Structure 1
């Protein structure tokens, strides 16, 4: 009986832990965002990277701003969310951004339209970074799109405050594949990313399997309808050391 009660307690504790304070049922949120919640697990992400009222957060290559709207709740009126996109991405997300930010409905979210080789970020000015489904794009090359990973991550490292953290989520690739799947399949190997981030000077805080899917065999593009929205995704949280 004791073990059963303990198990129930642990389940309830976990449920309370991931419940967080996000208002997912807020009437102002779009139906599309609410549907996405089931796949993106924003409460779990908020638990992995807790934020405080007044924090400044960078949503790096944040697309249409799904996470930015939720981050805005977390940092409150005294905080700020920098919703970043580069020129090449804007044609795909511009209308979403206009709708989401219309009439200043998210007053603490600031659009940051800037190329990744020259982000206008001051040193030690950012408390946290969300980098969602964009790490592999540093190794993808197409017309108008080419990123220098070392240069971008150096900027992020400098902009983060000591002790500041970055949440990285991306589509996993086969073990040992490194960055080779980034071009065609839009995937990248979790172990490679973890090692590279530590090579850039970050400390690994968390390696979570909350978005894992063992049924994904890594053979298909993330845009293939058979796996779209159901890929095996890795979640890493890294931290800028407080002292070196």
Structure 2
């Protein structure tokens, strides 16, 4: 099963280029593209990265994004909903042997697409400093004292209809607990309209909703970057629609645990 069919599958079961910023307000300003430090440059050049991943770099700007996130050698990081491991691999090499990465894959996703489980095993087996975490959303327990939690193009999944209404709130609370004081939570997702059902219909989410929810967990909004903005995206098409796939307007917001 492909990810574009994930919502439909979950619903069938019962389970407990650049433009201006988003104008979300708060203390954070729009950040310019930062210089990519040596640890992240080396991670991007890692020969173990699949060629398919490397080809996606031009659109995903992983170097600039992780530099903006502040990823350093020795960091402890969580790739929250790792998917195929695109960012897990880069984070692993960027934090280096003195750092560590936990790669979380929700059990619900693996149940409906076995390849997610296989991809998690492959990445964890290839990098000594990567530990896989597999658990249902409602039972997730992250490691203590991490420096960074990164979630890319997945926050909207926390709002898929089969999940409880408080799913995102509980997961944000767990992320807040796991991060050390001063730790960073970075959320990247497809920009969607402020309409009920947007995550299920379009696999997008309203950035203002994300900011409100994350701040409600106790986080402080630091700022945003326009690295992944795309002015030609009308925000009305499903992200898997061929007309927009790979070219969506995406927000990237950074929060900090006080």
RMSD: 2.0
| Residue in 2 that maps onto 1:190 | 207
Structure 2 length normalisation: TM-score? Answer: 0.79
Q: Which moved more, 1:157-166 or 1:41-50?
A: 41-50
- Does the aligned pair in 2 maintain the 1:136–1:179 contact within 8 Å? no
Note if 1:161 corresponds to 2:184: no
In structure 2, distance between residues paired with 1:88 and 1:54: 31
| Residue in 2 that maps onto 1:59 | 79
Change (3 A) 1:161 1:27: same
- Does the aligned pair in 2 maintain the 1:68–1:83 contact within 8 Å? yes
Note if 1:87 corresponds to 2:110: no
| Residue in 1 that maps onto 2:130 | 109
Question: Which of 214, 218, 222 matches 1:201?
Answer: 218
| Residue in 1 that maps onto 2:227 | 210
Structure 1 length normalisation: TM-score? Answer: 0.84
Question: Which of 112, 122, 126 matches 1:99?
Answer: 122
In structure 2, distance between residues paired with 1:59 and 1:96: 14
- Does the aligned pair in 2 maintain the 1:198–1:204 contact within 8 Å? yes
Gaps of 5+ in 2: 1-31
How many angstroms does 1:19 deviate by?
6.0
How many angstroms does 1:27 deviate by?
2.1
- Does the aligned pair in 2 maintain the 1:22–1:73 contact within 8 Å? no
- Does the aligned pair in 1 maintain the 2:101–2:131 contact within 8 Å? yes
Which aligned runs of 4 or more in structure 1 are off by greater than 4 angstroms?
none
How many angstroms does 1:178 deviate by?
5.2
Change (3 A) 1:16 1:192: closer
In structure 2, distance between residues paired with 1:186 and 1:205: 25
- What SS does the aligned partner of 2:41 have? coil
Gaps of 5+ in 1: 1-13
Note if 1:224 corresponds to 2:244: no
Change (3 A) 1:95 1:47: same
- Does the aligned pair in 2 maintain the 1:178–1:192 contact within 8 Å? no
In structure 2, distance between residues paired with 1:108 and 1:202: 27
